[in-house]
Structure formats: structure tokens, C-alpha cells
Copies of this chain bind each other. A is one copy, B any other.
Amino acid sequence: MSEVLEKAKKAKAAAAQLAKLSSSVKDRALEMMAQALEDQTDFLIQANKPDVEAAVRNGKPKAFIDRLTLNEKRIKDMADGLRVVKSLPDPVGEVVAMWKRPNGLIIGQRRVPLGVVGIIYESRPNVTADAAGLCLKAGNAVILRGGSEAIQSNKAIVKVLAQAAYEAGIPEGAIQLIEDTDRASARQLMRLNGLVDVLIPRGGAGLIKAVVEEATVPVIETGVGNCHVYVDGECDQDMAVNIIVNAKTQRPGVCNAAETLLVDKRIAAEFLPKAVRALREKGVEIRGCEKTLEIIPDAVPATPEDWDTEYLDYILAVKVVDGVDEAIRHIEMHGTGHSEAIVTSNYFTAQKFLEEVDAAAVYVNASTRFTDGFEFGFGAEIGISTQKLHARGPMGLKELTTIKYVIYGNGQIRE
């Protein structure tokens, strides 16, 4: 039996046990897992070294190596992340609704774990601990399949977590890593219908596309964000400058950062010089449409590709549009359904934007950077869904569960 199949079967068996565990057992395990990460800091840092060395040898970019590197602070952060998850309410067992039918049947919707969750991700070892903690708290078995670049780190993290969980009374097979980092192992995991209940890919657009294309197991798409800020003709322009600067530069490498600024032509000549000055102070390169270039002559001319590019960098595409309708059409054509914002002081324009823009999160007068499980008040997140099924936007613990109908009868049969 292949490694993937063997571990999936173990995970399925573990999931049946996990579903029955009380919150107190799960919480004790999360605390012991956090403690174990801290206790084994040296072991984890040692295990991380060959991954980092290989990345350096292979000439990986600096940002890549930075994300890959484990140090005392990062391990402490992983441990604290597990403690945050511990502190959140257990979603399992909640009765979402219950009603009585005319024939006396009592029908309840009870929240239960999804079962076996597969996480396919790239080279950030902290995903390993985050995903393991969230899946455990929601009563799921997790199968982690990280990238080859972080394999030694992931093996060490999973070893520490699985051992601590087991000692706390969590069944074996609840937290597993696929050690085979061949493409074939990921592909096999994506097609284990009946053993794996859902796949959550976390990473770049290429990874997510590959999983969507190849998986037969249901997938929750996450992350790709070509986000827009539209500055309406009627608005507080200082607020608009603040919001676009924040949305673009507060952390440009993440999915909820803005990539395109749309400006109402009624105020473009007045607003754009102010906005561009503030953006350039933060080091942002401006790529403008023709009308933008008339106002900001030294901007880089935008090509059609710019409207569809998630830069994840200090680059911003800028387009002058004819009011909110053209802004909405542009977003409809180029957006990825992640986070979209309008800055306006007009009530009707705000309502129209909220109503018509089709995205996971639609903002009025706030930065797109708030689309995030912590900022929404969920305490933690496993990713940000950009699809419409099951979960949309930041996914917390509830989104790692499903419901089952429990029906109490006293002999009812159907006429």
C-alpha cells in the first residue's frame, strides 16, 4: 500500500474517534502540543537547517528563505497560535437549529467535524502547526502535504505535534504528514474520494489551479486576491489616500492587499497627485491607464495584463473610470472575488457597490486588509475562501465542520 493510501486509511479511522472526543481532551492536547514545540525548539531549528541550506544552495529568493526559516521567535509564535486555538469555543456538537414537524418528528441540525481534511501547501512550515491545531480543535483528522523545500522542517514539526497529541489522548493518525513530496503523492491524495472529505490548498495561484484541476475530492479554493479600491467622486479624499496606502503597502505580499486603484474621473486630476505622492513615499511603482498618464506623466504605462495581475509587491495599477458603474464592471471583469473596497460619502453609491460587487468581502470606507480570520473576530483562520460553496471569505473553526441531521421519532412512517 502506498504511503498516501495507508495514511489516509489511518486518518479515516482516527476521524471516527476524534469526532467523539470532548473539548477538554482536545484542549489539553493543544496545550501539550504548544508546550512540546517550545520544549523542542533546538530540535526543530536543527531540523530546519538542511531545508534552509538547500534553499540557499538552489538560489531561492530572499523572501522565500525568510518564510522557510525557523527561529526561536517563530516557534514560540506557532506554540502561541495553538494556545489561541485552544481558547476558542469548540464548534462541534452545537445544535444549529431544531424544529418539530406536524407528524411529531423532531429534526435537529447538529454541527459535526468534516472528517479527514487534506492540506496541500508550499514552503511555510508554520502552516503545519496552524493547520494541525485548527483541524484538531474542529475534530478532524488532518493529512498535511507540504512542499519538498520544507520537508525536513515539516517532518520534525509533525513528529513533535503528533507525539504530544498522542500522549494527551488523541488517536494515532489524527495528525499526519505525507513525506513523499513527489507530484504523484499529491495527485493521489487529491483523488481519494471516500477517505478524504475536503482538500484545502494553501499557496500561490499555480498550486491552487493545479489542485482545482486535478482533484476529485471536494476543494475549497483559497487565497488568490486581485483586490481593488475604488475612490468615488464624492468622498473624503484624505480618507481615500489613507485607505489606498494601507491596502497597498501595509503588507503587500498577502492576498488581501490591493492591486488596482480605480478613480472616478470627476476627481482624478485632484486626487491622483495626492495619492501617488503618498504611495511613492512608501516605494510603490504606479502603472497607469492612458488617462492616469495624462495626470501622472511619469507613471509606467499599464498593459492589459496589469489589470489581471496579483503583484504581491510594491506595484499598483491605476485606472480612471467613469463613476461607480464602470468601477463595478471593471471589478466584475478582473476581480478574483476576494476583497473589494469603495471610498465614498454617498449613501446610494455605497449601497450600490455593496449590492452589486460579487466578492467574498465588500468594504465601504475601509481597507481591504481586514479580510482575515483574526480581524473578523474568528480568532484564527485556515485560509480565505474565494469560492462560493461551503465557505466564503475567512474560514475559522466553523468552516472546518459540517452538519448532520439528527431525527428523533416515536415510530413515524411515511404515508
Contacts and interface: CB of A to CB of B under 8 A. Distances in A.
A61 interface: no
Interface in A210-238: 212-213, 216, 218-220, 236
Contact of A414 (B358, B370, B376): B370
Nearest to A93: B355
B360 A404 contact: yes
A20 interface: yes
Interface string A233-260: 0001001001101110010000000000
A55 interface: no
Contacts of A212: 193, 216
A365 interface: yes
A412 interface: yes
Interface string A348-391: 00000011101111111111011100011100000000011110
A405 interface: yes
A402 to B, nearest CB: 4
Interface in A131-154: none
A370 B404 contact: no
The A interface, classified by DSSP as helix, strand, loop or mixed, is mixed
Interface residues of A, number: 66
A407 interface: yes
Interface stretch (A99-107, A279-287, A315-323): A99-107
Contacts of A389: 114, 197-198, 218, 220, 389-390, 402
Nearest to A361: B405
Given A198-B388, A377-B99, A388-B115, A361 B407 contact: yes
Interface of A: 16, 19-20, 99, 101, 105, 107, 112, 114-115, 193, 197-198, 212-213, 216, 218-220, 236, 239, 242-243, 245-247, 250, 332, 354-356, 358-367, 369-371, 375-377, 387-390, 392-393, 402-414
| Pairs of residues from A and B, 8 with the lowest C-beta to C-beta distance, nearest first | A366-B409, A246-B413, A390-B390, A388-B402, A369-B414, A389-B390, A361-B405, A365-B409
11 contacts: A20-B356, A101-B376, A197-B389, A218-B218, A218-B389, A246-B413, A362-B405, A362-B407, A365-B411, A369-B414, A392-B403
